[in-house]
Amino acid sequence: MVCQSLAVALISLEYWWVGIASYALSHYVHIGWWKRHHIRQHLVPLAIVFGIPILVLPACLDFNPDQWVAPVLTHASLAAQYIAIYPAFQAISPTLEILDWLRKTKSASEEQILAACRERSPVGDRIRDLENGGLIVRQSNGFELSIRGRLLAQIFIRYRALLGLSLGAG
């Protein structure tokens, strides 16, 4: 009976576009905040700027699920896809740097590309990111994974195994 009721339950799409507007507003706030402050820890500020509308939208739409579900889901989907590509903005990607650098220079030898990439994005910066994010802990003889780092690594290891692929080359 409950399953039957859920199966025919309807979600209104009347205000779904409000989710696009709320995402655009969050993005505007995000840009303004990042421009004014030097952000070191990215996860919490991102969660705040894109997460608050998810809590506020139901109140703006009279807490009527028929009205707020679609805009909240729209906002959440758009926010998720932005956060998925955010690392490409936050950290300099050697792949994108190669492409942009080749666009300016038209052509280059491997040695020239290696020299340019090492200068622009040393791997030490990525290690520092992992430390700042609490994913690795510096020890006397190197690094160790934190609990969060171990969990994240296992997610990717098992995911790659599910796809039948070896681990990414980085």
Give the count of beta carbons closer than 10 Å to the beta carbon of residue 18. 20
Q: Min. distance of Cβ 162 from another protein in angstroms? A: 6
Whole-angstrom distance, CA of residue 24 vs CA of residue 76: 12
CB-based burial of residue 136 (10 Å sphere; 0-12 exposed, 13-18 middle, 19+ buried)?
A: buried
Choose which of 24, 43, 44, 80 interacts with another protein (CB under 8 A): 80
Region binding another protein by CB under 8 A among candidate stretches 33-41, 43-51, 54-62: 33-41
**Interaction between residue 45 and another protein (CB under 8 A):** no
Q: Does 29 bind another protein (CB under 8 A)?
A: no
Find tokens 């950290």 and name the residue.
91
81 part of the interface to another protein, by CB under 8 A:
yes
The structure tokens 């409000």 sit at: 18
Cβ atoms within 10 Å, residue 123 = 10
The region, left, alpha or beta by phi > 0 then psi within -120 to 50, assigned to residue 109 is beta
Q: Enumerate residues 6+ apart whose C-beta is below 8 A from 64.
A: none
Q: Does 43 bind another protein (CB under 8 A)?
A: no
Of residues 109 through 148, those in contact with another protein by CB under 8 A are: 109-110, 113-114, 117-118, 122-124, 126-127, 129-130, 135-136, 141-145
Q: Determine which residue in the list 16, 45, 60, 66 makes contact with another protein, applying CB under 8 A.
A: 16
Q: Which is nearer to another protein, 59 or 163 (CB)?
A: 163
55 binds another protein (CB under 8 A): no
For another protein, the binding residue among 22, 26, 67, 74 (CB under 8 A) is 74
